[in-house]
Amino acid sequence: MGQLNTFPLSYKVSGQRIVIVGGGDEALNKARLVTKTTAEVVIISRHIEADFAALGAMPIQRGFSPCDLKGAALVFVAEESPDAELAKREARRQGVPLNVVDVPHECDFYTPSIVERAPLTIAISSEGEAPVLARLVRARIEAMLSPRIGKIAGLAGSLRKKAEALIHDNAARRRFYETLVTSPEIELAEAAGRGAAAAEALLAQHGEMGGQGVVWLIGAGPGSEDLLTLRAQRLLQEADAIVHDQLVPDAVVEMGRRDAERISVGKAKGHHSFSQAQINTLLVRLAGEGKRVARLKSGDPMVFGRAGEEIAALRKAGIGYQIVPGVSAALAAAADTATPVTLRKVSSGFIMATAHGADDSDLDHWASLAQSGLTLALYMGKSVVSEVAGRLVAHGASPALPVGIVVNAGRSNRSTYSGNLRSLIEGDVTLAEGPAIIFVGEAVAAGDWADAATLQAQSFKVVA
């Protein structure tokens, strides 16, 4: 890291005077900045050209006099004139910090770009090196922060004493503030003028709950950060502990708070590093310690995510939980290949089914799947594609029924295969590394399986 030539700080100006020497647009720009404060703003120039009325400021039309700086906190010189020269000299003589607009080497201080949500202020400075970058950064921050965040920061400030009296545990109190400033409900209440009451209610609730833990079952989507929901992102940043599966990529886990405890329960197919019972116990233990636990699952937590067992364990232990949906792999695969899984006159529905029985035992759903006439989205079938196709045909599906496979759906390294049940039974299919969704049904033909041709040209070999 380089070293700073300036030091950012928040300077008290309340009850003091800020003097601007100048009456043109540059003076107006500075006036716009400083009239955001509660300081008395004095604008002096022999030539008042800009319209200061909208700012509620009354410029004084006259020459500058040294006594104008008496008790001034800051002075801006925003014109070139003998008055300006006098003001600069006087500022230096009287020790009033000076800013000469557009003349960096004459300045004692610069004004950063400001994102203002009083009392919250964010100042962005490039020490004059890259004002365009500073403006871009500012625009991003503007977009990120709700216009009401300042009001909510004010609520937090006004509840400080009460929060200290009601919630003794530091971590629990931090949680209260985090919820207060990030909750969409509070924001809505604030917009409706009920912010104070909603904040009090939230505080009472946190006071009662004490440091009680909670488990959020969060769908992480198919593996790209930008397919995470905003709610998932928010809760990840609130969580004290993140318990995630193997299939959730690091980039998503990284979105959690930096000091959150991260536990991979690595349930990759084949090697169960944690048994389901151990995961259940872990969740109950962490929440029992008062932690807020993000249980991150790939796709949607309620689809082949063993959520049922985890929820049962949490209910039994009396631990609060909440579920955040995610984009399930089949839906990401449909999007990747522009496959309408439901299609008028072709497929009146779609079925998400597993191709793999628990403990490798046989499944009894093949007959109903084969005869459904609906689009099938088969999960966990990559290592058994030929068997799957064989079973469907054995139960009456046409060998000509279209098939499409998407490996790494929703990720940048996605790849596809298209064919039909017969080609799966006959050919050896080589698929890339990664999880896969197998689509079967007439609607698959309506998709855009563009790079399927190149995949089909390869020699097909099933890889587990």
Q: Which of 68, 240, 245, 300 is labelled catalytic?
A: 245
Q: In the structure encoding, which two tokens stand for residue 157, read together?
A: 């400030």
Return the residue nearest ligand SAH (CB atom): 299
Return the C-alpha torsion angle 381, 384, 386, 387, nearest 10. -100
Q: What are phi and psi of 403, to 5 degrees?
A: -130, 140
Least distance (Å) from ligand SAH to the CB of residue 330? Answer: 7
For ligand SAH, the closer CB: 23 or 221: 221
Q: Is 299 in the site for ligand SAH (CB under 6 A)?
A: yes
Q: Is 409 in the site for ligand SAH (CB under 6 A)?
A: yes
Which stretch in 82-90, 149-157, 291-299, 421-429 sits in contact with ligand SAH by CB under 6 A? 291-299
Which stretch in 45-53, 83-91, 325-333, 360-368 sits in contact with ligand SAH by CB under 6 A? 325-333
Among 19, 436, 452, 455, binds ligand SAH (CB under 6 A): 436
Q: Exposure pattern of 285-305 as b/e (b: 16+ CB <10 Å)? A: ebbeebbbbbbbbbbbbbbbb
Least distance (Å) from ligand SAH to the CB of residue 174? Answer: 31
Least distance (Å) from ligand SAH to the CB of residue 384? Answer: 11
Among 59, 112, 305, 447, binds ligand SAH (CB under 6 A): 305
Q: Is 154 in the site for ligand SAH (CB under 6 A)?
A: no
Q: Is 410 in the site for ligand SAH (CB under 6 A)?
A: yes
Q: Is 87 in the site for ligand SAH (CB under 6 A)?
A: no
For ligand SAH, the closer CB: 146 or 246: 246
Least distance (Å) from ligand SAH to the CB of residue 381? Answer: 7
Q: Is 328 in the site for ligand SAH (CB under 6 A)?
A: yes
How far is residue 213's CA from residue 381's CA, in Å, rounded to a whole number? 37
Among 218, 287, 403, 437, binds ligand SAH (CB under 6 A): 437
Among 125, 408, 415, 423, binds ligand SAH (CB under 6 A): 408
Least distance (Å) from ligand SAH to the CB of residue 356? Answer: 8
Least distance (Å) from ligand SAH to the CB of residue 390? Answer: 19
For ligand SAH, the closer CB: 175 or 414: 414
Scanning residues 341 to 400, which ones bind ligand SAH (CB under 6 A)? 379-380
| Size, binding site for ligand SAH by CB under 6 A | 23
Scanning residues 237 to 256, which ones bind ligand SAH (CB under 6 A)? 247
Which stretch in 85-93, 135-143, 419-427, 434-442 sits in contact with ligand SAH by CB under 6 A? 434-442
Least distance (Å) from ligand SAH to the CB of residue 270? Answer: 11
Least distance (Å) from ligand SAH to the CB of residue 219? Answer: 7
Q: In the structure encoding, which two tokens stand for residue 366, read together?
A: 């093949």
Q: Is 404 in the site for ligand SAH (CB under 6 A)?
A: no
How far is residue 269's CA from residue 361's CA, in Å, rounded to a whole number? 15
Is 316 catalytic? The answer is no
Q: Is 303 in the site for ligand SAH (CB under 6 A)?
A: yes
Among 295, 411, 444, 452, binds ligand SAH (CB under 6 A): 411
Cβ atoms of 404 and 429 closer than 8 Å: no
Among 283, 300, 313, 351, binds ligand SAH (CB under 6 A): 300
The residue count for the chain:
464
Cβ atoms of 335 and 448 closer than 8 Å: no
Least distance (Å) from ligand SAH to the CB of residue 245? Answer: 8
Q: Is 298 in the site for ligand SAH (CB under 6 A)?
A: yes
Catalog residues that contact ligand SAH under the rule CB under 6 A. 222-223, 247, 297-300, 303-305, 328-329, 333, 379-380, 406, 408-411, 435-437
Residues serving a catalytic function are: 245, 267
